[in-house]
């Protein structure tokens, strides 16, 4: 992410060991904050609260208050980013085991890589789940500024906020139904379909009819469409290739492929959809569920762990190049009235 180079095995070993060491220094009060929340609180609430709680340890904040030269801001930002990335799998696994496995927590294994440790601490020690988690952590790490979580992290970071504040803001955006929460919505939609049809192996025609019924009722089909892409999301394709290689007969994977077969045509025929193709969320939850991670509310939190790689790397670049504060524009009522062609008689008489 920082150097534009694929790491060597020695690089991976060094980074994995560094993150495993840093992850063992999480301030205890971060867990106290999580435990103060009801278990019923959505995992993203607990996740975000813990991220903010850890900001007491910010290298950047201490360096800034000490009067560091701004050309050196990137250094404490790097240290803070490394700390935060290392700790996120521990926090996410803690929240998962707290809410869904009777608080039976599992310690970090320093011999494992970052994503492998996440699977391990969640309670999944098979190489198959670790392999899936590595894929999941890679495909959700994008940092392009047009998406809400990446842009928000940039925006808040541009005020010289520390990485904890900045990333927390991004996670608030990720939690929205039109962003990271979409993976959970996809699973809810697929589950309702199976419940209504009374089978986890519907016919393609049944899937087509259900999808059309969804649109006719004024609802959207989650997991389809993208603000920028005008083709099938490459991250969807990578995950589908993974599924076809390792679990092609899994019922949810078969269902996802059926949806992929019919929904783009249905959406295209409406004449209202610029991109009728699936995005990353259309399959990610089905993969997780097929490997035994069946608790839908944690999917967005796992998305957030991955997203840290991209957006926090960008924070280091922001401080290295001394990028200025962002100033998003705001509009008044008259601007909006003009856009819709509304004539205000009161304004004309002035």
Q: State the DSSP string of 129-170.
A: HHHHHHHHHHHT----TTSHHHHHHHHHHTTT--HHHHHHHH
Give the CA-trace dihedral at 250, 254, 260, 266, to 10 degrees: -140
The tokens describing 207, both together, are 């899937």
Q: What whole-number distance in Å separates Cα of residue 15 and Cα of residue 40?
A: 35
User: Do 210 and 142 have their domain in common?
Assistant: no
With H, G, I as helix, E, B as strand and everything else as coil, classify residue 218.
coil
Secondary-structure breakdown of the chain: helix, strand, coil percentages, each rounded to the nearest 5: 65, 0, 35
With H, G, I as helix, E, B as strand and everything else as coil, classify residue 224.
strand
- The residue segments making up the domain with residue 279 are 182-290
Is the Cβ–Cβ distance between 92 and 137 less than 8 Å? no
Count CB neighbours of 82 within 10 A. Answer: 18
User: Do 300 and 260 have their domain in common?
Assistant: no
pTM for the predicted model, two decimal places: 0.92
For this structure, is 179 an active site residue?
A: yes
Buried b (16+ CB within 10 A) or exposed e, 307-345: bbbbbbbbbbebbbeeeeeeeeeeeeeeeeeeeeeeeee
Q: Which of 339, 307, 206 is CA-nearest to residue 261?
A: 206
What is the widest separation between alpha-carbon atoms in the chain? 76
For this structure, is 143 an active site residue?
A: no
Q: Is residue 349 part of a domain?
A: no
Residue by residue, what is the 3-state secondary structure of 314-327? HHHHHHHCCCCCCC
Q: What pLDDT does residue 145 have?
A: 65
The tokens describing 236, both together, are 């969807």
Point out the catalytic residue in the list 226, 241, 265, 318. 226
User: Do 169 and 66 have their domain in common?
Assistant: yes
Q: Is residue 45 part of a domain?
A: yes
Mean pLDDT per 10-residue interval, the chain, length 350 residues: 89 93 96 98 98 97 95 97 98 98 96 96 98 96 83 95 97 91 93 96 96 94 85 94 97 97 92 88 96 96 96 94 90 87 64
Is the Cβ–Cβ distance between 197 and 210 less than 8 Å? yes
User: Do 171 and 314 have their domain in common?
Assistant: yes
The tokens describing 283, both together, are 């399959």
User: Do 159 and 306 have their domain in common?
Assistant: yes
Point out the catalytic residue in the list 42, 140, 179, 233. 179
Instruction: Name the E strands within the chain.
Output: none
For this structure, is 11 an active site residue?
A: no
Q: What whole-number distance in Å separates Cα of residue 261 and Cα of residue 271?
A: 18
Residues in the chain, total? 350
User: Do 175 and 223 have their domain in common?
Assistant: no
Q: For position 199, which CATH number holds?
A: 1.10.230.10
User: Do 45 and 142 have their domain in common?
Assistant: yes
User: Do 226 and 154 have their domain in common?
Assistant: no
User: Do 236 and 258 have their domain in common?
Assistant: yes
Q: Is residue 92 part of a domain?
A: yes
DSSP state letter for 54: G
User: Do 45 and 90 have their domain in common?
Assistant: yes
Contacts of 15 (CB under 8 A, 6+ apart): 7, 114
Residue 239's Cα: distance from chain center in Å? 15
Is the Cβ–Cβ distance between 98 and 39 less than 8 Å? yes
For the chain, what is the domain count? 2
């Amino acid at each position: 992410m920082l150097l534009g180079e694929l790491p060597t095995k020695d690089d991976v070993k060094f980074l994995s060991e560094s993150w495993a060491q840093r992850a063992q220094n999480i301030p205890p009060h971060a867990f106290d904050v999580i435990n103060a929340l009801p278990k019923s609180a959505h995992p993203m609430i607990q996740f975000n609260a813990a991220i903010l709680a850890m900001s007491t340890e910010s290298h950047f904040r201490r360096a800034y208050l000490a009067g560091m030269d701004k050309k050196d801001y990137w250094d404490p930002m790097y240290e803070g980013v490394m700390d935060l990335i290392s700790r996120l799998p521990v926090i996410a696994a803690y929240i998962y085991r707290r809410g869904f496995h009777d608080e039976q927590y599992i310690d970090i294994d320093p011999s494992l890589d970052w994503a492998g440790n996440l699977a391990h601490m969640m309670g999944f020690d098979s190489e198959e789940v670790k392999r899936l988690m590595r894929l999941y952590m890679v495909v959700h790490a994008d940092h392009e500024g047009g998406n809400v979580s990446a842009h928000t992290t940039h925006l808040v970071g541009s005020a010289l906020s520390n990485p904890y504040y900045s990333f927390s803001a991004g996670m608030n955006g990720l939690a929205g139904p039109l962003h990271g929460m979409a993976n959970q919505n996809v699973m809810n939609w697929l589950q309702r379909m199976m419940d209504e049809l009374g089978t986890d192996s519907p016919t393609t025609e049944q899937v087509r009819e259900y999808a059309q019924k969804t649109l006719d009722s004024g609802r959207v089909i989650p997991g389809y469409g993208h603000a920028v892409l005008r083709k099938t999301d490459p991250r969807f394709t990578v995950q589908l290739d993974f599924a076809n290689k390792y679990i092609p007969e899994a019922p949810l994977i078969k269902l996802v492929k059926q949806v992929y077969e019919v929904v783009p045509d249905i959406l295209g025929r409406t004449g209202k959809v610029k991109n009728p193709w699936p995005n990353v969320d259309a399959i990610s939850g089905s993969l997780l569920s097929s490997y035994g991670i069946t608790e839908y509310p944690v999917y967005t939190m796992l998305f957030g762990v991955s997203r840290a790689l991209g957006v926090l790397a960008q924070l280091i670049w922001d401080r290295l190049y001394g990028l200025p504060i962002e100033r998003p524009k705001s509009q008044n009522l008259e601007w909006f009235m003009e856009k819709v062609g509304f004539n205000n008689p009161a304004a004309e008489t002035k």
